[in-house]
Amino acid sequence: MIFLSPLMSVLLIYWILISLASSETPLIIAHRGASGAAPENTMEAFNLAWKLGADGIEGDFHLTHDGHIVAIHDADTAKVSGGKIKLLVKKVTLKELQGIDVGSWKDKKYSGTRIPTLEQVMDSVPDGKKFFIEIKCGTEIMAPLIKVLDQRIKERPELANQISFIAFDYHVIKACRNQWPEIEANFLESYKKIKGTWMPEQNDIFQTLKMSLASGLGTQANEEVIDSGFVKRLRKDKLSFHCWT
């Protein structure tokens, strides 16, 4: 029997991490922070997740026009501004983005909440906790990412073991693995049923994993796709396996 703590009531979506390379206990990762209660991808959501005892957080990151990495899921600000302002993140500066109230759409008590930078989110991560950095744009993010991450790891070497990169773009995963072979970087995949068949097929997934140099796979918990053979193949290739619900 599984008992759900109060934490579950505020995590809109959560990740269960299953490491096939070890017998680690599954972890609870706050998706976009404690996004069930606080505005997603904000310091309010991330800090609430830590307060409630999450094992880690996941955040989505885009690159601004002036080279800053910011936490936001969509490519524009329409959702987080409550539909009031639609700016393309890649076309505007950090200053312009941080002039937008991204909290009121969730609740008036979060009025004045701003879009945080990667540095701000990273600095909130306690020792021993996990931080999943989902890169939502392409490899253009690499130069500023290298600058930020290398500086933070210099200050806190243990971060290299706490961070995991995740992305649906295998070019991004490959770039991260080439730059930081010691840091986990997992390729993400979701599925669509096309003419009665779930796509992509398993062989295609494993080919992409090989091309991307990925250390693991993050995917939907879809029982019609993930069977015992799929898991055994991941184990054989010494790939970690992460699924979201």
Q: What residues are labeled active site?
A: 31, 73
Q: First-to-last CA distance in the chain?
A: 18
Q: What is the CA radius of gyration of the chain?
A: 18
C-alpha 74/C-alpha 76 separation (Å) is 5
Question: What are the φ/ψ torsions at residue 181 (nearest 5 degrees)?
Answer: -60, -20
SS3 of residue 186 by DSSP: strand
Q: Counting every residue, how long is the chain?
A: 245
**Distance separating alpha carbons of residues 142 and 119, to the nearest angstrom:** 15
Question: Which residues, listed in sequence order, are joined to residue 199 by a DSSP beta bridge?
Answer: 192
Q: How far apart are CA 206 and CA 127, in angstroms?
A: 33
- The single residue listed with the structure tokens 């609430």 is 48
Contacts of 36 (CB under 8 A, 6+ apart): 9, 10, 11, 12
Q: How many CA atoms lie within 13 A of 165 on its CB side?
A: 35
